[in-house]
Structure 1
Amino acid sequence: MKNVNLLILDDKEENIISLSALLADVQHINIIRSTDPNEALKICWKNDIAIALVDVQMPDINGFEFVSLLKSNPKTNHIMAIMVTAISKEDRYLLKGLESGAIDYLYKPLNPEITVAKVTSFVNQIHIQEEIKQKNIALEESKKQLTLAKEEAEEARKSKESFLANMSHEIRTPINGIIGIIHMLRNSQLNPEQQDWIHRLDIASNSLLLIINDILDISKIDSGMMKVENESFSIRQKLEDIRNIFKVKATDKQLDFEMDIDPRLPNYVKSDPLRIQQIINNFISNSLKFTESGKITLKAEVLAQSNTESTVRMTVTDTGIGVKPDAIDKIFLAFEQADDGITKKFGGTGLGLAIVKRLADLLNGTVEASSVYGEGSAFSFQATFEHAQDFPREEKMDKKVFSKLDKFENLRILIAEDNDLNSFMLAHMLESWGCKVDNVKNGRLAVEKVNNSEYDLIMMDTHMPIMSGFEAIKEIKKSENPQKSFIPIITISASVLEHEQAAAYEAGADSVIGKPFDPLDLHQKISKLISKKRVQP
Structure 2
Amino acid sequence: MKKVNLLILDDKAENIISLEALLADIDNVNIISTTDPNEALKLCWKNDISIALVDVQMPDINGFEFVSLLKANPKTSHIIAIMVTAISKEDKYLIKGLQSGAVDYLYKPLNPEITIAKVNAFIKQVEIQEEIIHKNAELEQSKIALIQANREAEHARKSKEIFLANMSHEIRTPINGIMGIMHMLKNSPLNEEQMDWVKRLDTASNSLLMIINDILDISKIDSGMLKIEFENFNLKDLVHETANIFRLKAESKGLEFDITFDDSLPKIVRFDSLRLQQILTNFISNALKFTDDGSIEFSVNTISHNNNKHTIAFAVKDTGIGIRAESVEKIFQEFEQGDDRITKKFGGTGLGLAIVKRLAKLLDGEVKAESNYGQGSVFTFIVEMEEVIAEKLDEKKENLQYTQLPKLSNLNTLVAEDNDLNSFMLAHMLRKWECNVTIVKNGRLALEALESNDYDLILMDTHMPIMSGFEAITEIRNSLNPKLSNIPIITISASVMEHEQKAAFEVGADDVIGKPFNPLELYNKIVKACKLQIINS
Taking structure 1 as the reference length, the TM-score comes to: 0.96
Query: Which residue does the alignment assign to 1:194?
Result: 194
- Summarize the alignment of residues 154-169 of structure 1 with structure 2, pairs less than 5 Å apart: 154-169=154-169
Q: CA deviation at 1:253?
A: 2.6
Query: Which residue does the alignment assign to 1:484?
Result: 484
Query: Which residue does the alignment assign to 2:3?
Result: 3
Q: CA deviation at 1:257?
A: 1.8
Provide the secondary structure at the position in 1 that maps to 2:233: strand
Q: CA deviation at 1:54?
A: 0.6
On the 8 A contact 1:233/1:391 being kept in 2, the answer is no
| Deviations 1:140-160 (CA, angstroms, capped at 9, x unpaired) | 111111111112211211111
Letter paired with 1:343:
T
Letter paired with 2:213:
N
Q: C-alpha distance in 1, partners of 2:533/2:418?
A: 27
The answer to whether the aligner puts 1:328 opposite 2:328 as a matched pair is yes
Query: Which residue does the alignment assign to 2:466?
Result: 466
Q: CA deviation at 1:411?
A: 0.9
Letter paired with 1:197:
W
Letter paired with 2:128:
I
On the 8 A contact 2:98/2:104 being kept in 1, the answer is yes
| Deviations 1:89-147 (CA, angstroms, capped at 9, x unpaired) | 11111101111111000001101011001001101100100000111111111111111
Q: C-alpha distance in 2, partners of 1:6/1:83?
A: 13
Q: C-alpha distance in 2, partners of 1:28/1:50?
A: 12
Q: C-alpha distance in 2, partners of 1:268/1:479?
A: 49
Q: C-alpha distance in 1, partners of 2:230/2:399?
A: 27
CA RMSD, Structure 1 to Structure 2 (Å): 1.6
For structure 1, the 5+ residue unaligned runs are: none
Query: Which residue does the alignment assign to 1:113?
Result: 113
Letter paired with 1:288:
L
Query: Which residue does the alignment assign to 1:438?
Result: 438
Q: C-alpha distance in 1, partners of 2:324/2:119?
A: 73
Q: C-alpha distance in 2, partners of 1:348/1:38?
A: 82
Q: CA deviation at 1:329?
A: 2.1
| Deviations 1:422-464 (CA, angstroms, capped at 9, x unpaired) | 1111111111111110011111111121222111111000001
Query: Which residue does the alignment assign to 2:348?
Result: 348
Identity of aligned residues (%): 65
Q: CA deviation at 1:392?
A: 4.6
- Summarize the alignment of residues 440-459 of structure 1 with structure 2, pairs less than 5 Å apart: 440-459=440-459
Query: Which residue does the alignment assign to 1:520?
Result: 520
> Per the alignment, do residues 280 and 503 of structure 1 end up closer, same or farther by CA in structure 2, a change over 3 Å counting?
same
Provide the secondary structure at the position in 1 that maps to 2:57: coil
* 116-125 or 316-325, which deviates more: 316-325
Letter paired with 1:394:
D
Taking structure 2 as the reference length, the TM-score comes to: 0.96
Q: C-alpha distance in 2, partners of 1:97/1:241?
A: 91
Q: C-alpha distance in 2, partners of 1:462/1:412?
A: 20
| Deviations 1:393-446 (CA, angstroms, capped at 9, x unpaired) | 234243333223222112110000011111111111111111110011111111
Runs of 4+ in 1 over 6 A off after TM superposition: none
On the 8 A contact 1:451/1:484 being kept in 2, the answer is no
On the 8 A contact 2:51/2:79 being kept in 1, the answer is yes
Provide the secondary structure at the position in 2 that maps to 1:377: strand
Provide the secondary structure at the position in 2 that maps to 1:41: helix
| Deviations 1:329-379 (CA, angstroms, capped at 9, x unpaired) | 211111111212222222211111111111101101110111112221100
- Summarize the alignment of residues 22-37 of structure 1 with structure 2, pairs less than 5 Å apart: 22-37=22-37
Query: Which residue does the alignment assign to 2:500?
Result: 500
* 320-329 or 459-468, which deviates more: 320-329
Q: C-alpha distance in 1, partners of 2:394/2:530?
A: 22
> Per the alignment, do residues 506 and 195 of structure 1 end up closer, same or farther by CA in structure 2, a change over 3 Å counting?
same
| Deviations 1:461-506 (CA, angstroms, capped at 9, x unpaired) | 0001111111111111222222112211111000111111111111
Q: C-alpha distance in 2, partners of 1:91/1:533?
A: 100
The answer to whether the aligner puts 1:181 opposite 2:167 as a matched pair is no
- Summarize the alignment of residues 230-269 of structure 1 with structure 2, pairs less than 5 Å apart: 230-269=230-269
Provide the secondary structure at the position in 1 that maps to 2:530: helix
Q: C-alpha distance in 2, partners of 1:123/1:255?
A: 85
On the 8 A contact 2:233/2:393 being kept in 1, the answer is no
On the 8 A contact 1:232/1:268 being kept in 2, the answer is yes
Q: CA deviation at 1:190?
A: 2.6
